[in-house]
Chains A and B, each alone.
Chain A
Amino acid sequence: MKNSTSLISTNNVCLHFGNDVVLHDIDFSVEEREIVTLLGPNGSGKSSFLRILIGALQPTGGVVNRRDGLRIGYVPQRLSIDANMPMSVDRFLRLGKSNRGELKSKWVEQVGVADLLSLQVSHLSGGQLQRVMLTHALLADPDILILDEATQGLDQPGEAAFYRLIEQVRKEQGCAVVLVSHDLHVVMSASDRVICLNGHICCEGAPTIVSAAPEYRALFGLGTEGALALYRHDHDHSHDHAPGHAHNHSHDHAHDNTMKHEAKNDAKNDADV
Chain B
Amino acid sequence: MLDDFMFRALLAGIGLALAAGPLGCFVVWRKMAYFGDATAHAAILGVALSLAFSLSTFIGVLLVAALMAFCIARLSGRMYAIDTLLGVAAHLSLALGLVAVSKLSGVRLDLSSYLFGDILAVSRADIVVVWLGAVLTTALLIWRWEPLLTSTLNPDLAAARGYDVEREQLVLMMSLAVLVAVAIKLVGALLITAILIIPAAAARVFSKTPEQMAVVAIVVGVLAVAGGLGMSLFADTPSGPSIVVVAGLLFLIANVIASAKARSSGRSR
Residues of A near any B CB (own CB < 8 A): 51, 54-56, 72-74, 76, 79, 81-82, 84-88, 91, 95-97, 120, 140, 146
Chain B 197-223 interface 0/1 with A at a Cβ cutoff of 8 Å (1 = within): 000010010011111110000000000
**Tally of contacts, chain A with chain B, CB under 8 A:** 72
Chain B 152-181 interface 0/1 with A at a Cβ cutoff of 8 Å (1 = within): 111111111111010000000000000000
- Known: A79-B157, A87-B209, A120-B208; 4 extra A-B contacts, CB below 8 A, are A54-B156, A74-B157, A96-B150, A96-B158
Main secondary structure of the interface of A (DSSP, over half): loop
Contact A76–B157 (Cβ < 8 Å) = yes
> Closest 5 CB pairs between A and B?
A74-B160, A56-B159, A54-B160, A86-B207, A91-B209
Residues of B near any A CB (own CB < 8 A): 28-29, 31, 146-147, 149-150, 152-163, 165, 201, 204, 207-213
Contact A86–B153 (Cβ < 8 Å) = no
Task: Please judge, given known A-B contacts A95-B149, A95-B150, A96-B146, whether A88 and B209 are in contact too, CB under 8 Å.
Answer: yes
Least CB distance from A126 to B in Å reads: 16
A146 and B158 CA atoms in complex are apart in Å by: 14
A68 and B153 CA atoms in complex are apart in Å by: 26
**28 A–B pairs (Cβ distance < 8 Å), ordered by A:** A54-B159, A55-B160, A55-B162, A56-B155, A72-B160, A72-B162, A74-B160, A76-B156, A79-B153, A84-B28, A84-B29, A85-B213, A86-B204, A86-B209, A86-B212, A86-B213, A88-B208, A91-B208, A91-B209, A95-B146, A95-B149, A95-B150, A96-B146, A96-B150, A96-B158, A97-B146, A140-B160, A140-B161
Contact A91–B210 (Cβ < 8 Å) = yes
Contact A95–B153 (Cβ < 8 Å) = yes
Contact A85–B159 (Cβ < 8 Å) = no
Least CB distance from B179 to A in Å reads: 19
Q: Which residues of A contact B28 (CB under 8 A)?
A: 84
Contact A51–B156 (Cβ < 8 Å) = yes
Task: Please judge, given known A-B contacts A95-B149, A95-B153, A96-B146, whether A56 and B160 are in contact too, CB under 8 Å.
Answer: yes
Q: Which residues of A contact B211 (CB under 8 A)?
A: 91
Contact of B156 among A73, A74, A95 (CB under 8 A): A74
Contact of A87 among B147, B153, B162 (CB under 8 A): B153
Q: Which residues of A contact B157 (CB under 8 A)?
A: 74, 76, 79, 95-96
Least CB distance from A48 to B in Å reads: 11
Contact A84–B159 (Cβ < 8 Å) = no
**Which of A73, A81, A86, A88 has the most B CB atoms < 10 Å from its CB?**
A86
Task: Please judge, given known A-B contacts A56-B165, A95-B150, A97-B146, whether A86 and B160 are in contact too, CB under 8 Å.
Answer: no
Least CB distance from B34 to A in Å reads: 15
Least CB distance from B30 to A in Å reads: 8
Contact of B31 among A72, A76, A82 (CB under 8 A): A82
**Chain A, Cβ-Cβ closest to B163:** A96
A85 and B149 CA atoms in complex are apart in Å by: 10
**Chain B, Cβ-Cβ closest to A142:** B160
